[in-house]
């Protein structure tokens, strides 16, 4: 006796999504800081995945990975905007921080868009396409 009708979980699709998210994070990080060092490696991995036919609905993970990097930047810059002075028992100084709000908004939108698009495509591909004729 079959159980309740549910969408089958496919761990492979989530694994691919996480791989694409990691690539999106690496590409975004590489674009922001280590352009010439990271970009060739990311392009090579993307080329291999495209050649293997792994480009699918899981590629929405690129958006999520980029969003996660933006959220990390927002977290690091959370004391901003402006100059923040600090003092300890042995040292003192001042650090300048960016406004974290644009990074937070961009990160939230990108991460939510990537996860939402992946879930929507995954759900729509699990539903039957057409009904057979009854007659």
Share of the chain above pLDDT 70, in %: 80
Q: Which two tokens stand for residue 83?
A: 């100059």
Q: How far is CA 93 from CA 77, 88, 96, in A?
A: 17, 9, 10
Q: Which two tokens stand for residue 131?
A: 């009904």
> How would you classify residue 57: left for phi > 0, otherwise alpha for psi between -120 and 50, otherwise beta?
alpha
Q: Which two tokens stand for residue 46?
A: 């993307």
Average pLDDT over residues 100-109: 96
By CB atoms closer than 10 A (0-12, 13-18, 19+), residue 78 is: exposed
Distance CA 21, CA 14 (A): 10
What tens digit of pLDDT does each residue of 57-73 get? 678 888 999 999 999 99
Specify the range with the lowest mean pLDDT, choosing from 14-28, 36-50, 93-107, 117-131.
117-131
SS3 category, 93:
strand
Distance CA 11, CA 102 (A): 33
Whether 101 and 60 have beta carbons less than 8 Å apart is answered as no
Q: Which of 58, 64, 66 is nearest to 12 (CA)?
A: 58
Q: Using 50, 70 and 90 to split pLDDT, how confident is the model at 6?
A: very low
Listed by start position, the domains of the chain span 11-126
More confident residue, 13 or 132: 13
Q: Using 50, 70 and 90 to split pLDDT, how confident is the model at 41?
A: confident
pLDDT at 53 (0 to 100): 67
Distance CA 26, CA 45 (A): 11
């Amino acid at each position: 006796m079959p159980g309740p009708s549910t969408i089958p979980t496919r761990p492979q699709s989530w694994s691919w999504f996480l791989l694409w998210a990691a690539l999106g994070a690496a590409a975004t990080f590489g674009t922001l800081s280590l352009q010439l060092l990271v970009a060739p490696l990311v392009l090579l991995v993307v080329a291999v995945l495209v050649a293997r036919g792994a480009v699918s609905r899981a590629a929405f993970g690129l958006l999520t990975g980029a969003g996660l990097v933006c959220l990390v930047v927002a977290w690091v810059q959370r004391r901003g905007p402006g100059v923040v002075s600090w003092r300890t028992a042995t040292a003192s100084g001042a650090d300048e921080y960016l406004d974290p709000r644009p990074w937070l908004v961009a990160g939230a939108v990108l991460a939510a868009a990537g996860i939402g698009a992946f879930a929507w495509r995954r759900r729509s591909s699990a539903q039957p396409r057409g009904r057979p004729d009854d007659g």
